Amino acid sequence: MPEGDTVFRAARRLDEALAGHEVTRFEIRVPRSAVADLRGQTVHGVVPRGKHLLMRIGDQTLHSHLKMEGRWHVYRPGQRWRAPAHQARAIVGTKPADAVGFELAMVEVLPTADEARVVGHLGPDPLAADWDPSDAAARVTADHRAIHVALLDQRNVAGFGNEYANELLFVRGIRPTALAAEVDVAGLIETGARMIQANRDRQGRTFTGDNRPGQQTWVYRREGKPCRRCGALIRGSELGSRATSERIIFWCPVCQP
């Protein structure tokens, strides 16, 4: 699942491949930005912002969001793609490398000066140079909803997805349904930042410290299985601020009282 660490690695890979090079091929296969043509412009860099990717080319930005299925691949010019061509939503080619975005849920071209329109609403990003844990904690504490819901709201903290929310709450011993104002939010944010920063440079995401298949998580998607700490059976349900935004939650009834 693309979360903040996944997007960070994607941005770094794209930046290493494209930054400093002139665009020789540019295709956006969505109606809104289909006529955009940035050939001849230089790629200045690719930066992540929470779950958003900002590819800065000339004075324009190619903004994309991976959502659940999206991904960016980097190829040598002429190399066979590893995904079907009909899934490609964006193609940015340079002499040394081609970047292809497949099944991107959101892709558009806008002036770089207007980036705030698409990412200005986001809260502090624990993988950004300007990470402000105090601001993040204040935003989450002020949220009147369940802590699991508050953590997923990108306006509070940018980058945490459902897997992080479930695993972070287990590690801190907090039930997902507890109200945000009633928990140690500062400690929660500090632990979450350390988690995502540690996973940023790993090939495979892990919360337990064990990279073996099936051993990376404490509770996420482990409903009905024994807790790795106490042996109680992990429970599962759904939770959200409204029916249309419910996400699956997992917790240990003993370790998260």
pLDDT tens sequence across 171-201: 999 999 999 999 999 999 999 999 999 999 8
Give the model's pLDDT for residue 244. 58
Q: Which of 128, 118, 123, 127 is nearest to 140 (CA)?
A: 123
Under 8 Å between Cβ of 50 and 4? yes
Catalytic residue among 12, 13, 235, 247: 247
- Our answer to whether residue 12 is catalytic in this structure is no
User: Model confidence at 203, in pLDDT bands (50, 70, 90)?
Assistant: confident
Hey, is 57 helix, strand or coil?
A: strand
Q: What is the pTM of this model?
A: 0.91
Interval 59-79 mean pLDDT: 94
Angle between helices 185-199 and 162-171 (to 10 degrees): 120
Beta bridge partners of 22: 42
For residue 233, pLDDT beyond 70? yes
| Residue 242 backbone dihedrals phi, psi, to 5 degrees | -155, 165
What residues contact 115, with CB distance under 8 A and at least 6 apart? 54, 61, 63
Give the model's pLDDT for residue 2. 77
For residue 67, pLDDT beyond 90? no
pLDDT above 70 coverage of the chain, percent: 98
Give the model's pLDDT for residue 202. 87
- Our answer to whether residue 69 is catalytic in this structure is no
- Our answer to whether residue 103 is catalytic in this structure is no
What residues contact 185, with CB distance under 8 A and at least 6 apart? 137, 140, 141, 147
For all residues of the chain together, what is the average pLDDT? 95
CB atoms closer than 10 angstroms to residue 32: 12
Work out the end-to-end distance of the chain between its first and last CA atoms, rounded to an integer number of angstroms: 27
Catalytic residue among 3, 108, 163, 167: 3
pLDDT per residue over 92-128, tens digit each? 999 999 999 999 989 999 999 999 999 999 999 999 9
How many angstroms separate the CA atoms of 60 and 93, rounded? 16
- Our answer to whether residue 167 is catalytic in this structure is no
CA-to-CA separations, 74 to 67, 117, 146, 201, 252, in angstroms, rounded: 19, 27, 39, 18, 40
Catalytic residue among 9, 49, 51, 56: 51
